[in-house]
Amino acid sequence: MSSILNSKPNLNGIGMTSQRTRERLLGRLIDQGIQSMQVLDIIRSTPRHIFLDEALSHRAYEDVALPIGYNQTISQPYIVARMTEALLKSGSLEKVLEIGTGCGYQTAVMAQLAKSVYTVERIKPLLDRAKRNLKLLKLRNIDYKHDDGSAGWQQHGPFDAIITTAAPQQIPQELLLQLAEGGRLLIPVGGDDSQELQLISRHGDEFSTEVLEAVRFVPLLVGQLQH
Ligand code: SAH
């Protein structure tokens, strides 16, 4: 008999986390302009409910950000799809750096497209939770670091893409410096009330910026936390 302590979440989902509920979410993403079949297929097959506390898992396939504790959120599926699609369309995705692992949902989506993903989170218990979730999904091409991600992860750079899922007021220069030739940094920039999602591409020592849309992310904070 399995006890509640070692029982694993149901990856397929039932009721409000069933395949049918997930299809409705897919319809919404398509209505909002997501076109990449690759991205849509990954969102369809990635069980977002395992990234949430049980009390919230029935809302996993609503297209909204939801709390994950520590004043943080799991990103809205539309935003995850939009950011992933923007990076997929704009160049190589072999080596990707993610700043702001959270519970690991965006990491899971990215790890199914990239050869390797390096992810940095400043809140230790969240990083540990992400590791558990991603192991459950058997995603092994991910390296984790508990740190302030504003400094990137120089040891493993340069990166084809850097995705930042928390918003700084100003772009950390270190992240730009760790981009490979043709590499892109996708980053929300701004304060609590107004942020824009910027896609910055590197061509030699030149950087070009495209503004994608208005967004709302938690702030990129300084330093790391143990608890
Ligand atoms: N990628 C997540 C979104 C998590 S919310 C998802 O798919 O749902 C953003 C995360 O960024 C939070 O967990 C927050 O702790 C983290 N964060 C904020 N500032 C950071 C920093 N300087 N370095 C690393 N992580 C940071």
For domain 64-214, the question of CATH label 3.30.230.70 is answered with no
Residue with tokens 């740190």: 147
> pLDDT tens digits, residue range 16-29?
767 888 999 999 99
What pLDDT does residue 7 have?
59
Nearest CA to ligand 1 atom 14: 100
Q: Give the distance from CA 11 to its chain's centroid.
A: 19
Whole-number Cα distances in Å, 208 to 60, 185, 186, 192: 36, 10, 12, 25
Check whether 224 has a pLDDT greater than 90: no
- Indicate the domain borders of the chain: 64-214
What pLDDT does residue 56 have?
95
Q: How many helices (H) and strands (E) would you count in the chain?
A: 6, 9
Does residue 75 have an active-site annotation?
yes
Q: 152 in ligand 1 pocket by Cβ < 6 Å?
A: no
Among residues 45, 75, 92, 150, the one annotated as catalytic is 75
Q: 68 in ligand 1 pocket by Cβ < 6 Å?
A: no
> pLDDT tens digits, residue range 86-103?
999 999 999 999 999 999
Name 45's Cβ contacts closer than 8 Å, sequence gap at least 6: none
Whole-number Cα distances in Å, 102 to 24, 117, 125, 170: 25, 14, 9, 21
Higher per-residue pLDDT: 20 or 133? 133
Query: Beta strands of the chain (E only): which ranges?
Result: 66-69, 72-74, 95-99, 116-121, 142-146, 159-164, 179-190, 195-203, 206-215
Higher per-residue pLDDT: 2 or 62? 62
Q: 111 in ligand 1 pocket by Cβ < 6 Å?
A: no
Check whether 85 has a pLDDT greater than 70: yes
Check whether 105 has a pLDDT greater than 90: yes
| pLDDT grade for 117, boundaries at 50, 70 and 90 | very high
Check whether 189 has a pLDDT greater than 60: yes
Q: 76 in ligand 1 pocket by Cβ < 6 Å?
A: no
Name 127's Cβ contacts closer than 8 Å, sequence gap at least 6: 101, 121, 144, 146
Flag whether the pTM goes above 0.85.
yes
Given a contact cutoff of 8 angstroms between Cβ atoms, the answer to whether 75 and 100 are in contact is no
Q: Ligand 1 pocket check: which of 147, 218, 224 to mutate, most ligand atoms within 8 Å of Cβ? A: 218
Tokens of 99: 């700043």
What pLDDT does residue 157 have?
97
Query: Beta strands of 140-178 (E only): which ranges?
Result: 142-146, 159-164
Check whether 3 has a pLDDT greater than 80: no
Q: Give the span between the Cα atoms of 34 and 37, in whole angstroms.
A: 9
